[in-house]
Every structure is written in structure tokens, then in C-alpha cells.
Amino acid sequence: MLKKFIVPLKEKSYPIVIGLDLFKKNHLLSYFKKKKRYILITNKTLLKLWIKKIERFFNSNNIKIEIISIPDGECYKSLQEANNIITELLKKDCGRDTILIAFGGGVIGDLTGFVASVYQRGIEFIQIPTTLLSQVDASVGGKTGVNHTLGKNMIGTFWQPKYVIIDLLFLSTLSQRELSSGFSEVVKYSIIFDKLFFLWLENNYLNLLKLDKKCLLYCVYKCCKLKSEIVILDEKEKSCRALLNFGHTYGHAIESFMGYKNFLHGEAVSIGMILASRTSEILGFLKKNVTERIIFLLKNFNLPVYPPNDMPLKSYIFYMKKDKKNFLNNINLILPHKIGIVKIYKKIDKKVILSVIKNSLKK
């Protein structure tokens, strides 16, 4: 129940370790040094659930660790919260010998990575993702950032972690909704890159929802490998890494309009992937039966498949025009041609987008 591999980025290379109950064993001792200063950043929910286990690991190995906790929620992935963390680091007289530990989901990982990248012009940080979504996606690749009221992830940096340590045990306390949200990104990887993986998900979704250890280990490892391969080719998203945003242009628009409430990230991406697939249908790239197959799999993972009825159509265009993939004020989308093949399309007609959303609403 242990898998390791290196993300080879020359001087920024780092290992990804995936296993079960890693902090109970000695697999991780080589990744933490007694002479370093560690500041663990987490949220108040995780503090109650897991902090005793984490502290026991560090204390038993005579490694000093300090804790900064923030409220739980996407709305706290902000410049204000980043400033609060930086203020705490300054009060603690933290220098460049400090290593931050992101212990949490995508919000904690993105926020901690962002703070690490700007504090004293850059210090090291370690990712210990605790949600499925962060384990299969957000913790790998070095994207950091915070949200703005007008757009998701509009303020950020590329800053690679020192290590990524993925302990599947942390998934045991996730709500069913949070778990399903993570599987949205899993499905995304299969649609973008790997038809055989999509087939595997169709056959194993029940085992995954039951947190079957072997299935889960394979699933997380597969996603991390797929993402690392694209990051190696295009670390700073100048070309092919943009493919990973399949479903995100529509999805981020929903999240931004909702004020980062009501929909979890994976839920918004689930809807976004369906809208992108229907866009591809209208443009003649994707067969309808493939879209229906995608919808069926997302439903099996208990994910939403309809856009929110209370979001005005014009709001989609407003927020989609602020997407990072756009160029010269045109809306660009990642559209599937078949399972395992997606392509980037530029200057998508706004009338097509509005038609897709209108026809996708739950009747």
C-alpha cells in the first residue's frame, strides 16, 4: 500500500508519496529535518479531526511544529486570509529556514503555496492534501493562488512544493458530498487523457465510493501520474497544460457567481464538463451518445449535471470572459472530441454558449 515517484522538473523536482496511514509508520522520517522550522497551516475542522495524530508523529520524532489555523471554506481563499497568515509568520519571526506545511484540501494547499511563494520572496512548502480533490489534482503541479470576487484563481503564482505526501487515511472523514466532488476531477483526467481509465471508472465507481483501498490507491496514483506528465511538458501553462481546464471555464463562472458558496469546486466542474461536452456536440466535434455516457458516469458518482436555474445566462458570459485562458477578450474552451481526446478552441461564439446553457437547464 505504498507508491512513490518523482516529478522531474530539474532543480525543482520533488517526490510524491501515496499510501495508507503513513503518519503511523516511519515512511516519512526522511522528509522532515530536526533543524528546520515547520509551520503547519490548516483549517479549524481538520484541527479537531486530525491534529493529535499529526502532532504525535512530529513529537515522537523530536521535530518542532507550530500551527496556524484558518476558518474552513472556499470563501477564505483570499488575499485577506493570505495577509493574516503572513502576519502570523512575522509575529513568529519566521525566516527563510521556515518550511510551511499545507495540511488540508485545495483551499489550504493553494493558499499556503501562495504565501510560501511570496513570503520573503519565497520559502519552501510541503503538500499534505486531505481531500480527494486535492490528492488527485490540486496538490500536484505547483499552481498556487487566491480568489477574487470577480474571478476564481485570478491572483497566484507557480511555486512547486518540496514534497507531496498523500495519506489515503484522511479520506475516511470526508462527507459523501466532498468525496464525490473529488471524483469529478478523476473523471476529468479520464476524459482528457485515457479512455481505458474511463472504462475502469465505469466498472469500479462503487468500489471507489466505498473507499476500497486498492482501487483508491490505483485511482489516486493514476491521476497524479497523468497530471505530472503534463506538468513536465508545460509547467507554467503556456500550451498543453491548459487542457487540464476542461470543464473549468463554465465551472469557475458558476463558482464566481455564487460567491464560492452553494457549489463545491468539483460539483461546478462536473456541470462545466457537461456544458463543454454539449458545446462540442453543437459544433459537430462530439457524438451525443458520448456526452450521455459522461453524464451517466458523473451521476454514478453522485455529482450534479444541471446548471443552476437561478444564474442568469448573461452572468456566464461576464465571468467566462475573465477566464485565464482567454485572449483578446475572446472566450476559449477545452472541448472533447471523444473519450481520451480534447482540444483547445478559441473564439467560441457567445450565442453557442448561451444556447448550450439554456438547453441544459433542468426542465
| Catalytic residue list contains 27 | no
Give the residues across from 349 on adjacent strands: none
Distances (CA, A) of 6 to 13, 163, 164: 7, 9, 10
Pull the grid cell for residue 20: 495508507
Query: Exactly one of 77, 147, 153, 185 is catalytic; which is it?
Result: 185
| Catalytic residue list contains 148 | no
| Catalytic residue list contains 84 | no
Distance of alpha carbon 363 from alpha carbon 361, whole angstroms = 6
Q: For the chain, percent helix, then strand, then coil, each to nearest 5? A: 55, 20, 30
| Catalytic residue list contains 245 | yes
Query: Exactly one of 74, 81, 237, 255 is catalytic; which is it?
Result: 237
Query: Exactly one of 245, 267, 278, 332 is catalytic; which is it?
Result: 245
Distance of alpha carbon 142 from alpha carbon 51, whole angstroms = 25
Which amino acid appears at position 49 of this protein?
Answer: L
Give the residues across from 41 on adjacent strands: 68, 102
Query: Exactly one of 153, 252, 255, 332 is catalytic; which is it?
Result: 252
CB 355 within 8 A of CB 279: no
Which residue has 499552481 as its cell numbers?
143
Distance of alpha carbon 140 from alpha carbon 116, whole angstroms = 15
Q: Cα 177 from chain centroid?
A: 15
Angle at 12 between CA 8 and CA 15, to 5 degrees: 55
Query: Exactly one of 10, 35, 121, 314 is catalytic; which is it?
Result: 121
| Catalytic residue list contains 227 | yes
| Catalytic residue list contains 178 | no
Query: Exactly one of 255, 265, 267, 332 is catalytic; which is it?
Result: 265
Query: Exactly one of 152, 188, 248, 278 is catalytic; which is it?
Result: 248
The rounded radius of gyration (Å) of the Cα atoms in the chain is: 20
Residues classed as catalytic: 121, 143, 185, 227, 237, 241, 245, 248, 252, 265
